[in-house]
Amino acid sequence: MQSLLYLLGLGVGIGLVLQVGMNSTLRSILGSPILAALISFVVGSVALACFLGVLRTPLPERAQLAAVPAWAWLGGILGAFYVASSVIVGPRLGAATLLALVVLGQLGTSLVVDHLRLARFCAAPAHADAPRRSRTALWRRAAHHALNERAGARGL
């Protein structure tokens, strides 16, 4: 079961890269990042509705919906922000740089979220050396990127 979860996570990473390209294509043809994001969400919503139908998932009761904390309803806004922003940033910075920045943001935020037990994640206190490790990884990535940029500028 654990292997299946790792494969699913890997598939999500692959999908994110492909999604940026697909949504950027929508943007370039339609001329609007917001319209491209909306179309992406509509298509995704239809796909999710189909999955619910195939899986025969019952719709939630009114009491279940009322029990959802107000902050939990904002996830869709963050998803819209990600899709619209990636459509703007992706074509300008490239897939690798965009996704490196996304992962950097996710790693930093996940340390705080896990340590403080925010958003109903399990408790996973950050280790004392986690900030040092994160800084080291950031500097290595920045140095690697800078060296590659310089090599590309010289035609190497």
Distance CA 90, CA 88 (A): 6
Three-class secondary structure assignment of 67-86? HCCHHHHHHHHHHHHHHHHH
pLDDT in tens, 93-105: 988 888 889 888 9
pLDDT in tens, 96-154: 888 889 888 988 888 888 878 787 766 655 555 555 666 666 667 766 776 676 556 54
Task: Average the pLDDT over 59-69 and give the result.
Answer: 95
pLDDT given for residue 25 in this prediction: 94
Whole-structure pTM value: 0.68
Please give the share of the chain, as a percent, with pLDDT higher than 90: 47
Q: Are 23 and 36 contacting, i.e. CB atoms less than 8 angstroms apart?
A: yes
